[in-house]
Amino acid sequence: MSLPSQEPCATLPRASFTLPPLPAAMPSSPPDVSSQVLLPLGGLVGREVDLDAFLQALVDRIAITLQADRGTLWLLDPVRRELFSRAAHLPEVAQIRVKLGQGVAGYVAEAGEPVHVPDPRGERRFFADIDRMTGYRTISLAAVPLRDAAGAVYGVLQVLNRLGGGPFTEDDTRKLTDIAAQVSTALQTTSLYQELQRAKDQPQAPVGYFFNRIIGEAPPLKALYRLVQKAAPTDATVLLRGESGCGKELFARAIHVNGPRRDKPFVKVDCAALPAALIENELFGHEKGAFTGADHRVPGKFEAADGGTVFIDELGELPQAVQGKLLRVLQDREFERVGGTQAVKVDVRIVAATHRDLPRMVAEGRFREDLYYRIKVVELLLPPLRERGAEDIERLARHFVATAAKRHRLPPPRLSASALTRLMRYRWPGNVRELENCIESAVVLCEGEILEEHLPLPSLDRALSPAPSVQEPAPAPEAPLLLPLAEVERRHILRVLEAVKGNRTAAARTLEIGRNTLARKLKEYGLADEG
């Protein structure tokens, strides 16, 4: 028998969710307890704020509704095969752990059946050591399992000591079971549940840290999480900077769903995917008769996003003629449609992203200085994957193995040590997007285990010259070559074109960009005749 532990659980990602304020008072005998408690949850699916606050408020509400003195949400740690208290009324300790089968909660998790204990004295399933540790006296309790969509138990919901005396009844247990079903539905939409499942499927892997569906716990990412939590509740304009493929859109969505506009549209505009002549029309719309074929008025993205957020991806590709109109939107929240003369008012938040060096573009006269300073109210610099460390690469790789296997209806393959080492050694110029595509290819092509040869990685970072003879000493290893971002992108495009034998359509598909965007980049880097 092991005593409860106060150590933090290894599988405790700080995921996210939110909950409306608790009611000031609950009726003593509500007609439908479960719907009274959890009716507001329906509108919360997809929102991601602070799961800790959500869970604690949820336990508070359940305790009030069941007229209990205390409540506890237990979750199953699949690695240790223990239950840990994830949210609870436990002022005495930080956390409690029990083995499967230990105590009433452990029994419920193992047996998968609800239990109510009118009097714990003489009850063999009651674990008295917890009372002795906390100094709390349990008089009666009820506990029910939390089940996922497949029916597997992954947690327990428990209440202690009915207020005013008297034991919990079978009717209380039925009500708590109804509540648990709704709690489980809500929890399965959060990244906390995703991490519990990943830990169960791959117990040898490091635990992933999820923040608004973003995986990673490298120090630069944790600093970004804190900044997002500060900026999101405001209407401040945010500029996300970082290399291509490092997750700028995920952070943009995190800012949106954590802010006051979460129930309004999130509209994306990719400036790199649109011909320069169409970007203005895409953003601002046009009036009837503005050009040949404009037979009716068409609203733009800003009007479509009214009340919500406009995410302008690849801001550095925005033509200078359009930059002035965007500046007016930032300053006055108004614009004119193409071919129009009447100002259109909009209420939008703007989040922009770019992999370009905007200060350099300002110095070269290719980006408006006033727009740059206006749009970088809050500036977030996303780290490239190579700077996030080996553990984040492993977390992401194992996550992508699981998601790719599910997408292609394949059993999840094992990631071999040699393949993992190769992934950690690679520099990832395409960042997380390149890693995801690499893993998906390996999952499809391997047979039960991903080996190094299944990884579609270029061999350019390996030695190209023959091994030195015995008579000649091996040359000293060269220092890593530090390249400008544009040169890294140029080389990556060349590698992809070489891999697809010059097929630009296939290259654009691999790079996840439009064919026109690829052609523009080839021209920009002087590669127009190389593909």
More confident residue, 494 or 114: 114
Q: Is the pLDDT of residue 471 over 60?
A: no
**Does 76 score more than 70 pLDDT?**
yes
Name beta bridge partners: 286: 298, 338
Token representation of residue 133: 């540790």
Tokens of 444: 């499809």
Give the residue from 88, 67, 83, 62 showing the smallest Cα distance to 178. 62
**pLDDT tens for each residue of 152-189:** 899 999 999 999 888 999 999 999 999 999 888 877 76
Segment holding 398, helix H or strand E? helix 390-407
Write down the pLDDT at residue 146.
Answer: 93
Tell me: the pLDDT tens digits for 108-148?
999 999 998 999 888 889 988 888 888 899 999 999 999 98
Residue with the bigger pLDDT between 485 and 75: it is: 75
Residue 59 has pLDDT above 80, yes or no: yes
Q: Which residue has the higher pLDDT, 489 or 287?
A: 287
User: Which string of DSSP letters, residue by residue, matches 336-360?
Assistant: --BT--S-EE---EEEEEESS-HHH
Residue 408 pLDDT more than 80? yes
Query: What is the SS3 assignment for 505?
Result: helix
pLDDT interval class at 49 (50, 70, 90): very low
Residue-by-residue DSSP string for 76-107 = EETTTTEEEEEEE--TT-S--EEETTSHHHHH
Q: Which of 421-430, 496-505, 510-519 has the highest mean pLDDT?
A: 421-430
Q: Which pLDDT does position 35 carry in this prediction?
A: 44
pLDDT at 463 over 90: no
> Is pLDDT of 496 > 70?
yes
pLDDT at 50: 53
Q: What angle do CA 12, 16, 19 make, to 5 degrees?
A: 125
- Arithmetic mean of pLDDT, 481-499: 74
More confident: 191 or 373: 373
Residue type, 279: I
Ranking 220-234, 375-389, 463-477 by mean pLDDT, the lowest is: 463-477
Q: What are phi and psi of 195, to 5 degrees?
A: -70, -40
Q: State what percent of residues in the chain have pLDDT above 70.
A: 79
**Is the predicted pLDDT of residue 87 greater than 60, yes or no?**
yes
> What percentage of the chain exceeds 90 in pLDDT?
42
Candidate from 263-267, 377-381, 475-479 with smallest mean pLDDT: 475-479
If you count DSSP H runs as helices and E runs as strands, how many of each does the chain have, helices first? Answer: 19, 19
Q: How confident is the model at residue 191 (pLDDT cuts 50, 70, 90)?
A: low
Cα atoms in the 13 Å half-sphere on the side-chain side of 290: 19
Mean pLDDT, to the nearest integer, of 193-205?
Answer: 60
pLDDT at 15 over 70: no
pLDDT recorded at residue 461:
45
CB 10 within 8 A of CB 79: yes
pLDDT value at 353 more than 70:
yes
Q: Is the pLDDT of residue 476 over 60?
A: no
Rounded mean pLDDT, 433-447:
94
Instruction: With beta carbons less than 8 A apart as the criterion, state whether 85 and 134 touch.
Output: no
CB 290 within 8 A of CB 339: yes
Q: What does each C-alpha distance from 50 to 116, 191, 527 come to in angstroms?
A: 31, 11, 47
Model confidence at 259, in pLDDT bands (50, 70, 90)?
confident
pTM of the model: 0.57
CA distance 230 to 223: 11
Q: Say whether pLDDT at 29 is over 50.
A: no
pLDDT of 30 > 60? The answer is no
pLDDT for position 422: 94
The residue that leads in pLDDT, 475 or 296, is: 296
Whether the predicted pLDDT of 7 surpasses 60:
no
pLDDT, residue 139, reads 92
H/E stretch holding 422: helix 417-425
Specify the range with the lowest mean pLDDT, choosing from 186-195, 370-379, 393-402, 488-497. Answer: 186-195
pLDDT score, position 388:
93
User: In this structure, which long-range contacts are made by residues 461-470, counting pairs with CB atoms below 8 Å and at least 24 apart in sequence?
Assistant: 461/425, 461/426, 461/427
pLDDT, residue 266, reads 94
> For the chain, what is the mean pLDDT?
80
Task: Answer positive or negative: Cα dihedral of 13, 19, 23, 26.
Answer: negative
pLDDT of residue 364: 92
Task: Read off the tokens for 18.
Answer: 């939110």
Closest CA to 242 of 169, 172, 335, 315: 315
pLDDT of residue 482: 59
Give the SS3 label for residue 259.
coil
